[in-house]
Amino acid sequence: MRAGPVEATVIIKTFAPKGERQKFKLAAEQYVLVMPIGDVHFGSKGWPEQKFKDHISWGLDRGAYFLGMGEFLDLASDTQRKLMSQLRDSARDELDDLLREQADNLTYLLRGTAGRWVGVLEGDHRWDFMAAGAGDPKSVDQYICQALRADFLGTSAVIRVTPNIAGHPEADTLILAHHGIGSSRLSGGQLHRVEDLLKFFEADVYLMGHSHSKVSAPVDRQYLTPDGVHYHRTKILARTGGWMRGYLSGGVWGLNEPAYESRATYVEHMALPPAAMGGLCFGIGAERIEGSDYYRPTLHYSA
């Protein structure tokens, strides 16, 4: 076919003022809408610019907050970094300039989201600037964070989202966000590594990127409140999607055209399923547990 662990805690206190109309309500008593944006791979061949811009505009129109899941740029994979580390300093300087230019082009598309980021994780496609000055961002992800007025969260983060309910920390929503690891040929298998996190970390939303899959599932656990009421608390497991085209097609290549231009992406080479491009959104709310003086989060999600 022709083929063209760092931890952080962020507290967000956001809620709709009285009388403000909720434009997109997923969860009961929803007070914030969170949209993970990851595995963008800006600069990859056939990158879906209009679809990406429409996705961001949809979120902005509904007052969403964004969470960067890593790998904003396509350049600087682990293999590429190993090769480029052998280059002369002058060549590394030129690569620094290229990565900054790519980051500038991407953040221009995201300019309307500045100040509306929960934070940004770092993924496998990353780059450390060789000649960053004192006080300057030291990596391309930190450079993007500076432009978007976002906190840099490293590889993984624990994020606490708090409703405006004084004295009830049990109503908080904990998000465990990790750039991601592993993959699967089948949709259900994409969640295996995410579900592993349930064994050793207590949270309400467990997010991973990396595999470019856009898949999610709810898991209920049962608890007793301190005042003796039995209740369910829903947790969400999700892979947060991506924006890299796995398959690109065209006409038959001419024998005088460069052969490398006809070669497939790694997705096509490995006969992997193409990812459904895009991302999820999560409505986060809180409600009082029936028969109790205590609260729980209310969560729902949509593709």
Q: What CATH number does residue 298 fall under?
A: 3.60.21
Distance of CA 175 to the CA centre of its chain: 12
Prediction pTM value: 0.85
Q: Percent of the chain beyond pLDDT 70?
A: 89
**186 pLDDT band (50/70/90 cuts)?**
low
User: Alpha-carbon torsion 54, 60, 62, 65, what sign?
Assistant: positive
How far is 296 from 287, CA to CA, in rounded Å? 6
**187 pLDDT band (50/70/90 cuts)?**
low
What pLDDT sits at residue 203?
96
What is the domain range of residue 277?
A: 9-302
Q: 272 versus 109: which is more confidently predicted?
A: 109
Cβ count near 256 (within 10 Å): 5
User: Highest mean pLDDT range out of 76-90, 103-117, 129-143?
Assistant: 103-117
Q: What is the average pLDDT across 165-193?
A: 84
3-state secondary structure 128-163: ECCCCCCCCCCEHHHHHHHHHCCCEEECEEEEEECC
Within-domain flag for 59: yes
Examine the pLDDT at 94 and tell me if it is beyond 70.
Answer: yes
Within-domain flag for 3: no
Within-domain flag for 4: no
Q: What is the average pLDDT across 229-250?
A: 90
| Structure tokens belonging to residue 61 | 């129109």
- The 3-state DSSP class for residue 220 equals strand
Tokens 């580390």: give the residue.
85
What pLDDT sits at residue 14?
45
| C-alpha to C-alpha distances, 118 to 80, 175, 189, 212, 273, nearest whole angstrom | 29, 11, 28, 21, 31
Of 61, 47, 37, residue with least CA distance to 214:
37
Within-domain flag for 55: yes
User: How many domains is the chain built from?
Assistant: 1
Within-domain flag for 212: yes
| Structure tokens belonging to residue 96 | 């620094």
Average of per-residue pLDDT values in the chain: 86
Within-domain flag for 184: yes
| CA 198-199-200 angle, 5° bins | 95
Q: What is the average pLDDT across 243-272?
A: 80
What pLDDT sits at residue 188?
63
Within-domain flag for 152: yes
Examine the pLDDT at 166 and tell me if it is beyond 60.
Answer: yes
How far is 39 from 153, CA to CA, in rounded Å? 16
Q: What is the average pLDDT across 122-151?
A: 89
Within-domain flag for 2: no
The amino acid at residue 49 is E
What pLDDT sits at residue 18?
47
Examine the pLDDT at 225 and tell me if it is beyond 90.
Answer: yes
